[in-house]
Amino acid sequence: MGSVVYTQPDGTVRELLAEPGQSVMQLATKNGVRGILAQCGGTLSCATCHVYVDERDLADCGPLADFEDDMLDTTAADRLDCSRLSCQVKVGDGQIIHVTIPPTQL
C-alpha cells in the first residue's frame, strides 16, 4: 500500500491509503476529498483534478506527458512547476505522495 496526503487550500490535511497503481484522483473521488472535481472521470479531457505535487515527491510521480502538459495550460488556478493532473499520478507500493489542492478548479 501507499498513501496520499491531501492538503486543502485552508491548510486542512487528510491522508488516505492507496492501492498500488491507483491514481491520486481515483483515491480522492472515492473518498470525497473536496476540491478534486474530476469532471471527465480521469480521461485526460479536462483539468479539474489539478494538484500541486510537493517537490520532494515530484520526481517519483512519473514523467509529464505532452497531452497532460497541454491540459495543464487550461487550469483555473495558476499553473506552477509542480502542477500535475491527479488522474495521471499513480501511487506506487510504499510510496507517499503529498499534494496541495488549488483554491479553484473551475
CA distance 69 to 6: 22
Percent of the chain predicted with pLDDT > 70: 100
Q: Is 35 within a domain?
A: yes
Is the CB of residue 51 less than 8 Å from the CB of residue 5? no
How far is Cα 40 from Cα 87, in angstroms, rounded to an integer?
10
DSSP conformational letter for 92: P
Distance CA 71, CA 73 (A): 5
Residue 105 lies in a domain: no
User: Does 96 reside within a domain?
Assistant: yes
Contact 73, 79 (CB under 8 A): yes
In a domain? residue 6: yes
Identify the domain containing residue 78 by its residue range: 2-100
Does residue 9 fall inside a structural domain?
yes
pLDDT at 42: 94
- Cell numbers for 89, please give them: 499520478
What CATH number corresponds to the domain at position 64?
Answer: 3.10.20.30
The number of C-alpha atoms within 13 Å of 10 and in the hemisphere containing its C-beta is 4
Q: How many structural domains is the chain composed of?
A: 1
Quote the cell numbers at residue 81. 512547476
The predicted model scores a pTM of 0.96
Confidence band (pLDDT; 50, 70, 90) for 34? very high
Residue 48 domain-assigned? yes
